[in-house]
């Protein structure tokens, strides 16, 4: 039997595996960041004057916002689904098709019930533990991204510097005394959300516009082609800077602007594919059967034309990550949100002194994320291109 599956060259496989690993790592970190880097203790034991435990509390869980608890609940539900499905496959037990939906529904509805106002004043646990009032157990990185040290000497600490209560800043601190590693992990949430959501919206807009251009042709193609050319001529970074000055500086506004100006490539790819397919036999048969235009476009033609569009989406994701980092580097990103660009901007102090750890680690994260998206896009293009097989 002849196989037409395309396998990448051996020298490219390590790069593709590394790109997939980095993508999965940033995605997991973005979801469970509050459980990895948090200044609130995971377990807090209140002590009396004699040092005996009076009560046990869980401030970290109560400090989660409803949205954070919901995403973490969905991640846990996904993990349980994979484990149960794997056990069922090994034991030849058939899992109901409704089981994943029920599991995710429970996570979405009941996970926010764990959240409530914090039982402690934010980030005072280290001082209270030093006074012997409590005994705390922290998560892996016992610092929140917005946890600022009151002592000015805590600013620009190098990697490995010690903090209060025996805690250590593994990657140092920034100008405000905030832990760099905590900001790096929480910054992945902004990068992943901008990359996935902005690129997803841009791809949907491009598919809709390109499908109309390629299927109808004529004056529809002419008008929409001029619209594509106009949008392509707009400098996106200038628009982002302008939008940051006149609109609320939020992640939603940034994603909306990026999506509204990066759909043109997807539209051109979709137009070219629909131009080739509109006279195909299955399309003519669908027309003869009097199927709705919506069904012909998106149910019959789109699956055959989606390959180059999906490849382009990975490159759009890389561009969105770089644009968001650039905007945050210029100080125009969402305020009070951990960002790789904002962390990179603090590498130079007010006196002009360069702090290498604040440039190397966030800059490397931006570079590796954009590079991994590009590598995955190129591998998908090679796998979907019949001429390369």
pLDDT, tens digit, for every residue of 320-348?
A: 999 889 988 888 888 878 889 889 988 88
Higher-confidence position of 35 and 349: 35
CA dihedral 239, 245, 249, 252 (to 10 degrees): -30
How open is the CA angle 365-369-370, to the nearest 5 degrees? 120
User: Which residues lie below 8 Å from residue 196, measured CB to CB, with a gap of 6+?
Assistant: 317
Structure tokens, 377? 């896009």
Residues 210-255 pLDDT 10s: 988 988 888 988 999 999 999 998 888 888 888 888 887 888 888 8
Provide the β-strand partners of residue 348.
Answer: 354
Residue 8 has pLDDT above 90, yes or no: no
Pairwise CA distance, residues 182 & 339, whole Å: 11
Distances (CA, A) of 356 to 156, 158, 348, 352, 364: 10, 9, 9, 12, 12
Q: How confident is the model at residue 362 (pLDDT cuts 50, 70, 90)?
A: very high
- Other residues' Cβ atoms within 10 Å of the Cβ of residue 335: 10
In contact, 31 and 75? CB cutoff 8 Å? yes
- Is the pLDDT assigned to residue 389 strictly greater than 70? no
Look at 100 and 288; give whichever has higher pLDDT: 288
Hey, CA dihedral for 234, 236, 240, 242, is it positive or negative? negative
- Beta strands 43-47 and 134-137 are antiparallel
The H-or-E segment that residue 169 falls in is strand 168-169
pLDDT tens figures, 135-193: 888 888 888 888 876 555 677 888 887 776 667 888 888 888 888 899 999 999 888 88
Instruction: Give the span between the Cα atoms of 37 and 372, in whole angstroms.
Output: 24
């Amino acid at each position: 039997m002849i196989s037409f599956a395309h396998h990448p060259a051996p020298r490219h496989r390590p790069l593709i595996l590394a790109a997939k690993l980095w993508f999965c790592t940033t995605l997991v970190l973005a979801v469970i960041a509050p459980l990895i880097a948090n200044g609130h203790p995971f377990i807090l034991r209140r002590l009396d004057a004699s040092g005996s435990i009076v009560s046990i509390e869980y401030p970290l869980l109560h400090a989660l916002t409803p949205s954070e608890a919901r995403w973490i609940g969905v991640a846990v539900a996904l993990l349980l689904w994979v484990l149960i499905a794997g056990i069922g496959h090994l034991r030849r037990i058939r899992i109901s098709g409704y089981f994943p939906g029920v599991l995710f529904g429970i996570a979405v509805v009941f996970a926010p019930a764990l959240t409530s106002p914090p039982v402690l004043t934010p980030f005072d646990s280290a001082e209270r533990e030093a006074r012997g009032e409590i005994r705390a157990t922290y998560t892996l990185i016992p610092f929140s991204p917005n946890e600022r040290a009151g002592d000015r000497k805590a600013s620009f600490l190098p990697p490995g510097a010690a903090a209060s209560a025996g805690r250590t800043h593994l990657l140092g601190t920034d100008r405000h005394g905030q832990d760099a590693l905590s900001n790096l992990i929480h910054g992945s949430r902004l990068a992943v959300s901008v990359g996935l959501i902005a690129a997803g919206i841009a791809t949907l807009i491009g598919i809709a516009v390109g499908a109309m251009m390629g299927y109808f042709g004529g004056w529809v193609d002419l008008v929409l082609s001029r619209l594509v050319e106009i949008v392509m001529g707009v400098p996106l970074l200038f628009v982002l800077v302008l939008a940051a000055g006149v609109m609320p500086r939020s992640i939603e506004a940034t994603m909306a602007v990026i999506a509204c100006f990066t759909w043109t490539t997807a539209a051109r790819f979709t137009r070219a594919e629909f131009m080739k397919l509109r006279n195909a036999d299955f399309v003519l048969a669908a027309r003869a059967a009097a199927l709705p235009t919506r069904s012909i476009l998106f149910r019959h033609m789109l699956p055959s034309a989606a390959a180059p569009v999906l490849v382009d989406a990975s490159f759009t994701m890389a561009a969105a990550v770089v644009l968001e980092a650039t905007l945050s580097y210029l100080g125009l990103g969402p305020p009070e949100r951990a960002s790789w660009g904002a962390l990179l901007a603090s590498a130079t102090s007010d006196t002009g002194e360069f702090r290498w750890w604040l440039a190397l680690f966030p800059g490397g994260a931006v570079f590796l994320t954009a590079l991994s998206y590009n590598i995955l896009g190129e591998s998908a293009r090679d796998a979907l291109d019949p001429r390369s097989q």
